[in-house]
Structure 1
Amino acid sequence: MAIFDKSEKQADYASNVTTIAAGTSIVGKIDIECGLHIDGELEGEVNSKGIVKVGQTGLLKSTLKAEKLVVTGRFIGTADCDQIELTSGGEAEGKLISAGLTIDANSSFQGESIRRKQGDTTKLLDFSAEPAVRSGGAVVKDKPADKTTP
């Protein structure tokens, strides 16, 4: 059994990460197997099986699904991650869906936070369109009234 210290984990992350450098601006959809570090600007949908880090100069406007999000710069949008961390100086605006949310001193968050179970990737249900009734954990949408009965 191997034992890894923190520096070995950081070295592993550094060798498996794609970086968007400061001064770079990208618009589009990104599906990525490794980590992603953003020092520039990225706008669009991001799906990552790794850690997404928004650096101090970074801006991420996104619908994001990742293992973990770490924000030292600025995030705007919806993030669905097992862990979300807003570090000192980090800013987030929008909807944060996670099993664990950490907000450090001198960081800011404006929006909605939804707690979910670790590893739960079920889609959130939109209840705004039609009223629904909860029954034993299931959601049953209201049926239209039967107009044939007097």
Structure 2
Amino acid sequence: MFAESKRNRMEPVVGQTNRIVENTKIKGDLTSEADIRIDGELEGSITAKGKVVIGKSGKVSGKIQCMNADVEGKFEGELKVENVLSLKGSAQIDGDVVVGKLAVEPGATFNAACSMKGASLKSVRANEGQKEANSTEKSA
């Protein structure tokens, strides 16, 4: 009984890439255990456990949630990248972005509200430390 469930369990797919080629338009939601490369157009959401690549001719409007992302084309919407978001010189980003790390090449257009994971936690800790220092000075 338990052996069957182990066989049916999905494991992350390594080394495989799903592709939406140029001149292809899709409306809907994509979910993948593997990487996704978009050279066509997608309107909807993408959830990937791997890397999402938007090629130079690629256009995405909607939501993306993934581990890593490389953008050469256009993105509009909400982008959440667990690790590294890399914007090439031809990239155009509009919307809201949450990243672990951000790399931007010269020439990229980045019109987004951006926050980095962990930044809010660090600023809260810094404010707490400053408050403690101020209260110590007042009591002395």
- Give the alignment's TM-score, normalised by structure 1: 0.67
The 2-side partners of 1:59 and 1:87 are apart by: 14
| Shift in Å, 1:62 | 1.9
- Report what 1:84 is aligned to: 85
- Give the alignment's TM-score, normalised by structure 2: 0.72
The 2-side partners of 1:94 and 1:104 are apart by: 18
- Residues 94-126 of structure 1, C-alpha deviations (whole Å, 9 max, x = no match): 011011011110111002001104xxxxxxxxx
- Residues 1-52 of structure 1, C-alpha deviations (whole Å, 9 max, x = no match): xxxxxxxxxxx97x41011000000010111000000000011111000000
* Structure 2 alignment gaps of length 5 or more: 1-12, 119-127, 129-140
- Report what 1:56 is aligned to: 56
State, as a whole percentage, how many aligned pairs show the same letter.
24
The 1-side partners of 2:84 and 2:76 are apart by: 17
Q: Size of the alignment, in residue pairs? A: 106
- Report what 2:111 is aligned to: 110
Aligned to 1:28, the other structure's residue is in SS state strand
- Residues 42-101 of structure 1, C-alpha deviations (whole Å, 9 max, x = no match): 111110000000000000112111001110011111111121111111111101101101
Q: Which is richer in helix?
A: 2
Aligned to 1:29, the other structure's residue is in SS state strand
- Report what 1:25 is aligned to: 25
- Report what 2:96 is aligned to: 95
Aligned to 1:62, the other structure's residue is in SS state strand
- Report what 2:34 is aligned to: 34
